[in-house]
Structure 1
Amino acid sequence: MAGGITQAEYWNGEVGARWARNQAVLDAVFAPLTEALFDRAALRSGESVLDIGCGSGATSLEAARRVGPEGAVTGADISAPLLAVARSRAEAETGAAPIRFVKADVGSADLGAYGQALSRFGVMFFPDSARAFANIRRMLHPGGRLTFLCWRALPENLWVTVPREAVVPLLPEIPPPPQPDTPGPFRFAAADPLVALLRGAGFGTVACDAVDRDVVLGRGATDAEAAQAAAHVALNLGPTAHLVREAEPDLRSRAEAAVTAALTPHAEGGTVRLRAACWLVQVG
């Protein structure tokens, strides 16, 4: 992580708190991808489910609805601010499976045994991916499956590249591109190394399919308002946010103007939509 901080420090600090405050925005952005994840997972009534990197609980709540009161869901994350939101949201649920939220690193913790595990963008941040996937496999019942989403290459994800390319020319130093061999959103950009990693962790069957969805970054009464809303998401919640997190007010202001201008051509009917490109992976 930038500045030498750990993943736990990162997600329990200002970033985790900001994501917790904006959980409804993030859930709306990722809704088409969440739908694809659950379509593939095909959870059944009565199953036990482990949600890896559950964040503010949207995927845990959806899993609980799908497996019903006879099932059980454990949502695990390392972020206390996000887990606090998840627990609060779960209190309002009725007719769904009981949910246990735990602050834990799924890469090393023993959280029990499950029929299914799933993750929406939560598996790319383990310090040791091989160890983590082997640990997840150990927690699955015989015949159990792991289904997860992870990002494909940065250039394929226009929802990130459009705002990023608007910000980079304003920075005093050009940031290095994401590294595929270090924890981060684009760690598993290439399919072949990911498939080899999963096979090495002991999974016998590996299906890795490309999934593309248009995600809504912003809405507004006008296209201009939609572009402004989308710029706010990009600069506060998306992978571009770290580029301006500690920027001086003048640079921050110029970045907001540049990103808004870059997103304006993508606004139509008061909505900014851009492509998101993922791997949808299922292993067992």
Structure 2
Amino acid sequence: MTTATMQEASEYVDFWNRVLVPKFIRFRHILAEGTSNHSDQVLPTLGLEEGDRVVDIGCGFGDTAIELARRVGWSGAVLGIDCCDAFLDFGRREAAAAGISNLTFVEADVLTHRFEPVHDACFSRFGTQFFENPVAGLRNMRAALKPGGTMTMIVWRALEDNPCMNLPKQVILRFLPAPEDDADTCGPGPFSMADQSVVRRQLEAAGFEAIAFERVDAPVVMGKSLDDAVDFQLAIGPAGEIYREAGTIAEQRHEDIVAALKRELAPFERPEGIVMSSGSWKVTARNPR
């Protein structure tokens, strides 16, 4: 497994590395388990064959890239791309521990990385929603594919289809103002690809064909306990953004916010933790032959 150094970082990439990486690492136990409940439903449907070459876009901690590497076998190859090398370090260690050698992790911005058109498939789990320029990012993903190669991405459906994030956001808004338009951000945001018609136009503009959408629903454990779930919501996601941007106001209302979140999340407590529902799109498209 080899690593390439990312050349130039956008303000969004800088925000990921400066602000979000430590939080994502802290709550990896929630993020990896929750998102895997979606990819576990999608990965078996990709139709991958022994010897295929696959690129995993925004591969994060590398768990999907590792699973893809297993699916294509030793004669295949997987390239995992992410803009945060701290995430990729987890994937490198876990792949090495598992004896997986057909997987390469590269730190790069998908919008500017120079892909070779040698891949049979391109996959992304909740990574494309943060493209600074969605059409440019999708077009560059298509550049990684052979003629006739397939693209599959998992993106969140609307906030209303995701109580796991919507409910905490509504609770926080009782106490704090919504972020200003010029707030620091990691990109367009987790729900930027929720609208089918918008995403279809983006994919068409990027040159894809045979575009299709399929609903995926999955339970997610939002914390091993109420305290864990509340800490997670105050750090990451729509509620976390509101809390972070409110600054001293959030600090002043902290105890009230925590108490309200605990009250609202308590009905979702199960033996395994705080279990809530979530919904995504499986989006598929093809590079023309």
Same fold (TM over 0.5): yes
Q: 5 Å matches for 1:88-237?
A: 88-94=93-99, 96-112=100-116, 113-171=118-176, 173-175=177-179, 183-219=188-224, 226-237=225-236
Aligned-residue offset at 1:97: 5.0
Q: Which amino acid aligns with 1:235?
A: L
Query: Which residue of the partner structure matches residue 261 of structure 2?
Result: 259
Instruction: Name which structure has the greater RCO, CA cutoff 8 Å, separation 6+.
Output: 2
Aligned-residue offset at 1:33: 0.5
Aligned-residue offset at 1:188: 1.1
Partner SS state of residue 15, structure 2: helix
Structure 2-normalised TM-score?
A: 0.86
Distance 1:213 1:119 in 2: 17
Aligned-residue offset at 1:54: 0.8
Q: Percent identity?
A: 31
Query: Which residue of the partner structure matches residue 270 of structure 2?
Result: 268
Matched positions, count: 268
Q: Do 2:115 and 2:143's aligned partners in 1 also have CA atoms closer than 8 Å? A: no
Structure 1-normalised TM-score?
A: 0.87
Distance 2:95 2:276 in 1: 31
Distance 1:239 1:85 in 2: 25
Cα deviations by residue, 1:98-121 (Å, 9 ceiling, x for unpaired)? 211111111221132211110000
Aligned-residue offset at 1:270: 4.9
Distance 1:256 1:236 in 2: 12
Q: Which amino acid aligns with 2:98?
A: E
Q: Do 1:40 and 1:147's aligned partners in 2 also have CA atoms closer than 8 Å? A: no
Aligned-residue offset at 1:36: 1.8
Aligned-residue offset at 1:207: 1.0
* 1:66 equivalent in alignment to 2:83: no
Structure 1 gaps, min length 5: 220-225
Q: Which amino acid aligns with 1:153?
A: A
* 1:80 equivalent in alignment to 2:85: yes
Partner SS state of residue 173, structure 2: helix
Q: Which amino acid aligns with 1:273?
A: V
Cα deviations by residue, 1:159-197 (Å, 9 ceiling, x for unpaired)? 0011111111111x23479xxxx7111111211111121
Partner SS state of residue 115, structure 2: coil
* RMSD over equivalenced CA pairs, Å: 2.0
